A and B are shown apart, each in its own frame.
Chain A
Amino acid sequence: MALKIISSQCSGCSACEPECPNVAIREKNGTFVIDPAKCTECEGQFDSPQCLAVCPVDGCIKKV
């Protein structure tokens, strides 16, 4: 259970990084990546995954 950032879609805006309650997001070569080992999809923490809710690019963050 984890989310994935499609790097070709990512604008590198960094909005998702500080919102992640699990500190699972970091910058890599100008775009951002989610550590699947840390990602909980915010279950039990928030109503919806925070990165998904703040990301300005539709379709950039997907469930894997």
Chain B
Amino acid sequence: MSHTAFVSIGDLRRGKAAPGRVVEAAAGGCSTRGAAGKASCGSSAGPDDMPPAIWEKVKNHPCYSEEAHHHYARMHVAVAPACNIQCNYCNRKYDCSNESRPGVVSQKLTPDQAVKKVLAVASEIPQMTVLGIAGPGDALANPARTFETFRRLNEHAPDIKLCLSTNGLALPQYVDEICRYDIDHVTITINMVDPVVGAKIHPWIFWDHRRVTGLEAAQILHEQQMKGLEMLTSRGVLTKINSVLIPGINDAHLIDVNREVKKRGAFLHNIMPLISEPEHGTVFGLAGQRGPSAQELKAVQDACAGGANLMRHCRQCRADAVGLLGEDRSDEFTLDRIDRMEVVYDLDRRRAYQDKVERERQAQHQAKVDALAEAGNADAPDDGMRVLVAVATEGHGKVNQHFGHATEFQIYEVGARSAVFVGHRRVDLYCRGGYGEDEQLPSIVHAIGDCHAVLVSKIGACPRDELTAAGIEPVDRYAHEFIERAVLDWFSHYRQRVARGAIVHQPRGDARIRQGAYCGGTGVAAA
């Protein structure tokens, strides 16, 4: 299968030769309308689609590569508690072990403790390839702790990729240092390119020994963010832009943000839903500012297609998360547990394990390509009809999870020739110890309420009836088949049934994005 829709990353590299210049990198090619079976994003493309240097940087980075996130793990160390700006969606005081969202941690670490934790995790989880500093405050508002951690990791664990996350305010002054420690992935949170919008999100910044508020604050923040992004692009550092989608404040504006960051060479754009509940104690939460629905989020993401590459697989991890995206094993690596661990950092063992992971991944990729070619959907007539399908999967790119065991569903947008990953929906675990929890079922139905079908390996009679009654077709005949092939085949049967009048095609409604504490699957995620 070709990935020819992905065309543009070379422009990023060309930008490297022209420091200080705004790089007109057509970082687009997100290819949300790509060939059959093409996964969500340019970032899921293979080595043939981008310069080798870029491929080397993204191939085992779970946040930068949609495909890699099924195979490689990451961890965050919480060495950066201080922040230099205030955001209306953030309250770092709130901490709950069942809570999964940025800005929240259970244990703050010194650089010493952080390095120890990284080595312990890297020994225990050899597919852990990426270490990020993402707070709980701002990595660059704690420069001494952040760079001390990076310096020592360069020394002790040279094979681990380093990345950091920042609001961008202090970014321009630290770009040289970022390059010195070989940090080749930087995430900047950019919620606006217009200070009028910015002032509604960021009430103040601490700048030049003053608390600056209102438009002036947003203007300074905006200028620093753009300058920092341009500087990173000109030095060849890959950047991801995180934007929090806040309905009524910056929803339509994020299309402008996407255009501006693309113009300045951003590699990926990650549009995330606002997490906002009164009990979080944030300004937005207390004011009743709601988060977006699934369809509102998708509408903005779709409107940005063709702009900067979109990341659709973000799980909004905690600032101390450990493991694959969507799981958190941080409980296994608390400070007292690390103290009791015997840590042997064996580079050869890690490499051997990662080679094995890479071989499995390539075999899986090839098997999927073959299965799709065999299915022959590429020539099917396409009248433009698209529906969403939810899939329960435990990985390996297959429909292989029991409905009752799912803590999230992957969402695919399917047409006659294409099946495109467009996101995931977190849900409460339905099944515990063999019994369904009936009160959980309505919330699952809400979470995938915009889908026409849900593909699972198996499903009980009770949820089957309830889903059917809600207009979502439960499908278990594709157990252990590749996801793309399964959804395309289901869609072609769906069209046939519509054509012969067996069913009537009806548009679906909206779906609810799961908010707040993640109580359902913590036991499973940690297992």
Which A residues fall within an 8 A CB radius of B?
A: 11-15, 18-19, 46-48, 50, 53-54, 56-57
Contact = CB atoms under 8 A, between A and B. Distances in A.
Contact of B211 (A12, A13, A54, A57): A54
A13 B206 contact: no
Interface stretch (B80-88, B222-230, B317-325, B421-429): B80-88
A53 B137 contact: no
A53 B211 contact: yes
Contacts of B211: 48, 53-54
Nearest to B93: A11
A5 B144 CA distance: 24
Interface string B35-74: 0000000000000000000000000000000000000000
Contacts, number: 44
B209 A47 contact: yes
A56 B142 CA distance: 15
B108 A12 contact: yes
Interface residues of B, number: 17
B180 interface: no
A56 B81 contact: no
Contacts of A13: 81-83, 92, 136-137
A48 B212 CA distance: 12
Contacts of A57: 93
B369 interface: no
B141 interface: yes
B210 interface: yes
A15 B209 contact: no
Contact of B137 (A15, A46, A47, A50): A15
B141 A56 contact: no
B210 A56 contact: no
A54 B81 contact: no
B82 A15 contact: yes
Nearest to A58: B86
A61 B84 CA distance: 17
Contacts of B137: 13, 15
A14 B92 CA distance: 12
Contacts of A18: 82, 144
Contacts of A53: 206, 209-211
A56 B209 contact: no
Contacts of A12: 81, 108
Contact of A47 (B83, B136, B210): B210
Contact of A54 (B84, B108, B142): B84
Contacts of B86: 56
Interface string B190-220: 0000000000000000100111000000000
A47 B210 CA distance: 8
Top-3 shortest CB links A-B:
A15-B82, A53-B211, A13-B81
B206 A54 contact: yes
Nearest to A45: B209
A47 B141 CA distance: 21
Given A13-B82, A15-B84, A56-B86, A46 B209 contact: yes
B210 A11 contact: no
Contacts of A50: 209
B82 to A, nearest CB: 4
A44 B335 CA distance: 43
B108 A56 contact: no
Given A18-B82, A53-B210, A54-B84, 13 more contacts: A11-B81, A13-B82, A13-B83, A13-B137, A14-B142, A15-B81, A15-B137, A47-B209, A47-B210, A50-B209, A53-B206, A54-B82, A56-B92
A53 B206 CA distance: 7
Contacts of A19: 206, 209
Interface in B80-121: 81-84, 86, 92-93, 108
Interface string B400-438: 000000000000000000000000000000000000000
A15 B206 CA distance: 10
